[in-house]
Amino acid sequence: MNALEQRLQRLEDIEAIRQLKAAYLHHCDRKNIAAIRECFAAGAVHIDYGTLGTFTTRDEFLSLYEELACHAHIIDMHHGQNARIQWHSPHQASAVWDLYFHQIDNHHQTLTQLAGYYEDDYERRDNRWLITRSVFRVTSSCVVQMDDTQLRLLFAGAQPPAA
């Protein structure tokens, strides 16, 4: 590959990775398990989401995700931002993404606001970029109880208590 082709490939790959992460966050909000699965590599992966757990396959992660998040009374909003994508080769890349997360849980009557960051690794397989490693760390969170007349602070700090 000449220098110009490599530069163009790098830019196209970075955009494909940006689109992949946007799709992942979008599908999480829509509770689309099949589409989330397609964002991760098949086989062994490393997904470490702190207090939620560490998973070695996408299906292990998705089983918990479906159990915790796929309910009509839970409304999620994931906003990824400030991407710092490092292209290592035409087949490997990594990135750090900031996340703003907001959740309304109408069953437990709670509002959760959370911020943190992902550290992801990507591989190109069968001409598609896929997530092979994703580590998420919380940097701040706020959970409040809501009712018809007031909001009551349940937690504010760096790391929410384990669920």
> How far, in whole angstroms, is CA 89 from its chain's centroid?
23
- pLDDT on residue 158: 87
Structural domain span for residue 9: 3-157
DSSP letter at 154 equals: E
Token pair of 26, please?
């979008």
- pLDDT on residue 160: 65
List, for residues 72-84, the tens digit of each pLDDT value: 999 999 999 999 9
99 inside domain: yes
List, for residues 54-70, the tens digit of each pLDDT value: 999 999 999 999 999 99
Cβ-proximal residues to 32 (8 Å cutoff; 6+ apart), any chain: none
- pLDDT on residue 118: 98
Residue 161: which pLDDT band, with cuts at 50, 70 and 90? low
CA distance 142 to 23: 26
pTM of the full structure:
0.93
The domain total for the chain is 1
Residue 163: which pLDDT band, with cuts at 50, 70 and 90? low
Pairing of strands 128-146, 44-48: parallel
Residue 66's alpha-carbon distances to 24, 46, 112, in angstroms, are 14, 18, 18
47 inside domain: yes
Closest CA to 163 of 122, 121, 103: 103
Pairing of strands 74-89, 151-157: unpaired
CA distance 35 to 27: 6
Q: What's the chain's average pLDDT?
A: 95
148 inside domain: yes
163 inside domain: no
CATH assignment of the domain containing 33: 3.10.450.50
Token pair of 64, please?
């918990």
162 inside domain: no
